[in-house]
Structure 1
Amino acid sequence: MNLYDLKNELLLLNDLIYFDENEFLREKCADEKVLKKIIEKFEEKLETISNYKLEDQIFIYGSIGNLYRITGNTTSAIECLEYAVSLSEENKKIANIIRLGEALKYDGQHDLALKKFEQAINMCTLDLNYTTLLDFAYQHKGKCLLELGQPIMALDNFQQALSLRQVKGDPSLIESTQKAVKFTKQFGGI
């Protein structure tokens, strides 16, 4: 299977991934078998990773790291995402730092996760060419703060994300953040 086909399979997961309100809006997959099959295909690519150009290597490590995180295999997720970050530059680096922060959060390393989200926020705000990921950094930082029992700080980050997403005009991103705001207000009694 070539990378183009594998990227298309990743798109299939969009319909299967949901945010579990019983676990602070962590990403879960409605069909673990499909997710595991896609991971196996990525693992096959890892066996011949040196045959791929740098951009494709970053994609493979970043994607499989993200998929490992969703399955709860945080050790492998962190390892792959740290490597993706080390290979990445600019926008891809920011995306992989956010993914790494999520993997650290899922691994219970909330303080390190917050540092990664702050790093991503700082990188986005220091270079206006990379602000397209700023809403994601705020959204994931908010989720981390929520897990740490800090709903007011979480809500502030969600509202930052929401205002950026409203400017973007992407209905699915806006809806995702609106759900996070609603959940946080209910959870925190705000």
Structure 2
Amino acid sequence: MKNKIYLALGSNKSDRIDFIHQAINRLKMELDIVITKISSIYYTKPFGYREQENFVNLVVLLETEIDLDSFYLLTKKIEMEIGRTKSIKWGPREIDLDILLFNDLILQSEHLTIPHKEIENRDFFLVPLIEIEPDIINPRNKNFFKEHLNSLQENYILAKEIFNTNQKG
């Protein structure tokens, strides 16, 4: 059975768009991953630690037969290959890959929370997710994700542009 995964990608160091392309291209090179939808790019203020460059963020929908644990390890491998370095919490990063949703799974483990623990609180997750899947439902509470937009405490999105999928990464 194909798993549907909504994956958030973000970057705020150096050539941010190039890092996003590199991550998407690495995902496409995997034998059993098909990216079916890609949101626009959203330019956002940093969350948490504010003394850093703005981020670019987007969300992709992909289908795969890879299980959750293997996919999680793949995201960490891609982050390392692109050159992500450990820094302060919510600090600058070359690439950040966050699994937002994995089918309708609800999971809390040592390394992973599905749906992503902050999905309802961050417009840079919600807006691109809703862009590619307007009527998507939160498995936790069975509400539409778009219902969470009105209750956000802070907005981080500054601008939006169409993502050019033809750029090399």
Greater helix fraction, Structure 1 or Structure 2: 1
Which structure's CA Rg is the greater one?
1
Greater strand fraction, Structure 1 or Structure 2: 2
The answer, yes or no, to whether TM exceeds 0.5 is: no
> Per chain length, whose mean CA-contact separation is higher, i.e. which structure has more relative contact order (CA < 8 Å, sep 6+)?
2
TM-score of Structure 1 vs Structure 2, range by shorter chain:
0.3 to 0.5
Q: TM-score, normalised by structure 2?
A: 0.36
